Structure 1
Amino acid sequence: MRSLNGYEHDPAAPRTLQNPWTRERAQEWADARNHFREPVFIEGHPYAHPRVSVPNPPPAEIQIDGETLHLAHYGTRGAHYSRTPPPVERIPQS
């Protein structure tokens, strides 16, 4: 109730919404929860980037503040990006 109604919720009337959401706002909220996003960790920083998240699965490259970051690895704790590009695979000439 509080998450939908905010702090204007009246505990004396628990089934009454003081400031109900519109149908559109509720649908936007539900849609946002259906599109899971992963936290972004950048090489050299111990914590996730506070303003950026990526979709699941994460893209191979992202741009943050004009800098291109490359996906280093992806695991249960989020997407980890590096400033160094991945190594280029060399194919031997026959």
Structure 2
Amino acid sequence: MTIVIGFEGSANKIGVGIIKDGVVLSNPRRTYITPPGQGFLPSDTAKHHRACVLDVTSDALELAGIKPEEIDCIAYTKGMKIKPGVT
């Protein structure tokens, strides 16, 4: 029975999901909300994610009933770097 913890923080949300044998056990997240009419600044979004990631991780583990030592694999989102001239 493989247990995977996944971290997602590619946009205005930071989320941590835990899956066991293909079944989602938990998936809490926090959303960074800007004032109306303003877009997301990467530095502000990153600050939000850093401030929330430990709490969201604790929530995910608690909701799933999983201890950190039971996790078999870690997954995460990773941004893409696009080379100039490549679409």
Q: Give the structure with the larger strand fraction.
A: 1
Higher relative contact order (CA 8 A, sep 6+): 2
Please give the TM-score of this superposition, normalised by the length of structure 2.
0.24
Q: Larger C-alpha radius of gyration, 1 or 2?
A: 1
Q: Give the structure with the larger helix fraction.
A: 2
